[in-house]
Structure 1
Amino acid sequence: LVVSMKTDEVFKNHKTTTLRADIKKAGARIVDVSQNLRFSFSDARNLYSILRREKPDIVHTFLPYAGTIGRVVARLARVPRVVSTQGNIRVAYDFRGYWMDRITLPLAHVWTAAAESIELEYGGSVESFSEKLWRGGRRHFTIPAGVDCETIQNAISSVDRTKKRVELGIRENDVMILMTARLVSWKGHDELIDAAALLPERVHVCFAGWGERMEGLRKRARGLGIESRIHFLGARDDVYELLGASDIYAQVFSRTREGRMWMGPNTALMEGAAAGVPIVATHVPLIERLIEDGVSGKLANVNDPQSLAAGISWIIEHPSAAKEMARKAKELVRQRYSLSAMRRAYADLYTALFSGHSATIT
């Protein structure tokens, strides 16, 4: 049973797909509790009624709003086991939402992080799930959001690279750099635009993503005289095809005024690596779990467009070495960040939750 707590505004404002069709195809039921975008006591009452009626063995919550309400209500409804998955770091959330989520997190019997950066911020250390750690009393783990390597590879194999680039206004001999990320301040769009100004005219940057900063970023590109080489693609449901048309994938993070920043690989970076595209990323803590400078990609200093431009130039000038680094990054994704690895980890976690009980995990 999948309980939807609220509708994401993103899917109201953009023509893109959601998980609803996939969930139904998998045979799960979906119940919409409400369409509220703020906390509602009616949501809590409705969820309590559902849980008392359905009597689930496990309630697994995702994201701050559903996590906060879900953990409290699941405990009140006497659900045997409560699991929470933390999906982002503090910089991504408003003050109230973050602290409501954090204060109620101890109500979960165990919580997981969708990336190493998240477990480090919420739990102070990073560990993958293991039976040994579980028996030792650890109750938070990193289980990365799994990347569907086969689907990515199939999409890339079937894409018409030339046609896709023509659609984007990019010639075959141009260099196409792709970055997928929301247009928010702690993603390094500014640095990548500034780096593009230092690179040859045949280098184009494509931003797949939406956000309130689009006009400000357009203005930045115009001010540097490179507006024709910076492409804002908006929300997309063809990211894998875009990866197949790209020459370089860039994942750039910025340090905020408060000194906060993302740490380690995120899902977008994992997908870029799974596609076999040469990677340039910023050298944030934990990033070397996937991208090691000169081994599986190129790393640039944080908030440093010159360093970023240098990394991109190196990849352009050393295509054979870049291809080999991309191969290594792709293999690391298959080993550590694949969808099958995520499934195994959650199956082990659910089984551990009912160790010594009669429940059967399917």
Structure 2
Amino acid sequence: MKVLHVITGLGIGGAEQQLHLLLRHLPAECEVVTLTNPGPVADALTADGVTVTHLGMTGNRDLTVLPRLTRLIRAGHYDIVHTHLYRAGVYGRVAARLARVRTIVATEHSLGVTQIEGRPLSRATRALYRRTERMGSATIAVSETVARRLTAWGVPAGRVHLAPNGIDPAAFRFSAPARVAARSRLGIPLHAYVVGGVGRQVKGKNFESLIRAVAAVPDTHLLLAGDGPEHVMLLRLVHQLGVADRVRFAQPAEEPSSDSPTVPELLAAMDLFVSPSPEESFGVAVIEALASGLPALYVACPALEDLPPHDAPGARRIEAYNLPTAVHEERLTGPRRLPVPAAVEHYAIARTAERVMAVYEAVLAAAAEPVTDAVTGTTATAEPGAAPAAVSVPEPSAPPAAAPQQQQATAPAEK
């Protein structure tokens, strides 16, 4: 099976990192096209042996990318074209149909109630989304919450399939040496209580409120992992509040290196994880934090809201206005590491890959089914340019049993 993944960009971001991780577990021959920004994730994919092509798109309305992408798809003889993120979904579906590919899958990573990929939703955005979605064979939702949002938009439920985001649980297992090394590299005192957040520094992530909350709790440090257009504004706020000595910013490395810690290493350096974003499509950063044994506070996390509360006892949903109080309460409890909860194994990347492969097999089978002419009663294989047939995806196998839980432990003694 030969699959072309089309994505808007390959900088550091949730969808981009999900694609990187997924391709390590998909039993298919995969190549990647990025419309723009071939950043660190492109380098990581290339290091894994994945062919990455950059089309050099200059903006949302750079229509010259369409014929180039169409030619690339036609020349590649792909069985499936799989798009990721809004812009790639629009251009990728159109190009795939022009290249006469009938098996087109899209993953919806970042659909909120009022925004998509951090940008406000408009009537035109919704209309273009729905129109191009009909060109595909199936749309994958990364959470049950996103699946409900898609059907509320008018996407037929039969076209929406659930394949939640996943993580590699073993990669996030807490390491005391990594904790010490990361703190030393970032200039964080070993004895400090560290609150952390991970994600793109954009307005919708609400990291401003997290900075203010930590500033209000004495003897508490903050570690923010990520980058984005709000970075300078967040730096300015830190200095305005006079807490520059208690706040550290870090750009996570995709792979272990001597220059910058990875996300697992940064999580090891933290004592409390906070996700202040009021609107999320999944909340993978919270699952990663739980895999590291961290207690977690979140304002919105569909990944956990779609599960029974006992699957993640170390995570607590809070209201955004209550963030300073919640951080203060956790500070009084002190640093601790918790058993890895069942929610982490539920979202193992191997299970995600299994679900995606089930969608691939279903759309290929549907495309190969003969079509019966209602007038003559004759059958024939559908033409490549015809509308895709509906697909039925079987239920995936039960998730793997949760790994034995580690014993609850306090953070290592520090001097």
Q: Which runs of 5+ in 1 are unaligned?
A: 126-135, 255-260
What SS does the aligned partner of 2:204 have?
Answer: coil
Q: 1:167 to 1:286 in 2, by over 3 A?
A: closer
Letter in 2 for 1:243: L
Matched, 1:93 2:119: yes
CA RMSD in angstroms comes to 3.4
Q: Which runs of 5+ in 2 are unaligned?
A: 14-36, 255-261, 370-415
Q: Once the 2 structures are TM-superposed, how far is the Cα of residue 3 of structure 1 from its aligned partner?
A: 6.0
Whether the 8 Å contact between 1:276 and 1:327 is mirrored in structure 2 is: yes
Match of 1:193 in 2: 211
Q: In structure 2, what is the Cα distance between the partners aligned to 1:317 and 1:291?
A: 27
Q: In structure 2, what is the Cα distance between the partners aligned to 1:93 and 1:319?
A: 37
Match of 1:349 in 2: 359
Letter in 2 for 1:118: V
Q: In structure 1, what is the Cα distance between the partners aligned to 2:271 and 2:224?
A: 14
Q: 1:10 to 1:300 in 2, by over 3 A?
A: closer
Whether the 8 Å contact between 1:292 and 1:298 is mirrored in structure 2 is: no
Q: Once the 2 structures are TM-superposed, how far is the Cα of residue 66 of structure 1 from its aligned partner?
A: 1.8
Matched, 1:47 2:69: yes
Letter in 2 for 1:195: A
Match of 1:240 in 2: 264
Match of 2:323 in 1: 308
Match of 1:253 in 2: 277
**Per-residue displacement from partner, 1:35-94 (whole Å, max 9, x unpaired)?**
433333332212222333333221111112221111112122221311111121224136
Q: In structure 2, what is the Cα distance between the partners aligned to 1:200 and 1:56?
A: 57
Q: Aligned pairs, how many?
A: 328
Counting only pairs closer than 5 Å after superposition, residues 304-343 of structure 1 correspond to structure 2 as 304=321, 307-318=322-333, 323-324=337-338, 327-328=340-341, 331-335=342-346, 337-343=347-353
Match of 2:381 in 1: none
Q: 1:340 to 1:212 in 2, by over 3 A?
A: same
Counting only pairs closer than 5 Å after superposition, residues 1-362 of structure 1 correspond to structure 2 as 2=4, 8=10, 17-23=40-46, 25-26=48-49, 28-89=50-111, 90-91=115-116, 92-93=118-119, 98-99=125-126, 100-124=128-152, 138-153=158-173, 156-157=174-175, 159-201=177-219, 203-234=220-251, 236-237=253-254, 238-254=262-278, 261-262=279-280, 265-283=282-300, 287-289=304-306, 292=309, 295-302=313-320, 304=321, 307-318=322-333, 323-324=337-338, 327-328=340-341, 331-335=342-346, 337-355=347-365
User: Please, which moves more after superposition, 180-189 or 235-244?
Assistant: 235-244
More helix by share: 1
Whether the 8 Å contact between 2:6 and 2:81 is mirrored in structure 1 is: no
Q: In structure 2, what is the Cα distance between the partners aligned to 1:158 and 1:174?
A: 15
- Larger relative contact order (C-alpha < 8 A, sep ≥ 6)? 2
Letter in 1 for 2:40: T
Letter in 2 for 1:327: V
Q: Once the 2 structures are TM-superposed, how far is the Cα of residue 180 of structure 1 from its aligned partner?
A: 0.8
Q: Once the 2 structures are TM-superposed, how far is the Cα of residue 251 of structure 1 from its aligned partner?
A: 0.9
Q: Once the 2 structures are TM-superposed, how far is the Cα of residue 252 of structure 1 from its aligned partner?
A: 1.0
Q: In structure 2, what is the Cα distance between the partners aligned to 1:234 and 1:179?
A: 12
Q: Once the 2 structures are TM-superposed, how far is the Cα of residue 105 of structure 1 from its aligned partner?
A: 1.4
Q: 1:3 to 1:138 in 2, by over 3 A?
A: closer
Match of 2:392 in 1: none
Q: In structure 2, what is the Cα distance between the partners aligned to 1:168 and 1:318?
A: 24
Q: Once the 2 structures are TM-superposed, how far is the Cα of residue 343 of structure 1 from its aligned partner?
A: 0.8
Q: In structure 2, what is the Cα distance between the partners aligned to 1:269 and 1:349?
A: 26
Q: In structure 2, what is the Cα distance between the partners aligned to 1:23 and 1:200?
A: 45
What SS does the aligned partner of 1:41 have?
Answer: coil
Q: 1:301 to 1:291 in 2, by over 3 A?
A: farther
Counting aligned pairs with the same residue, the percent is 22
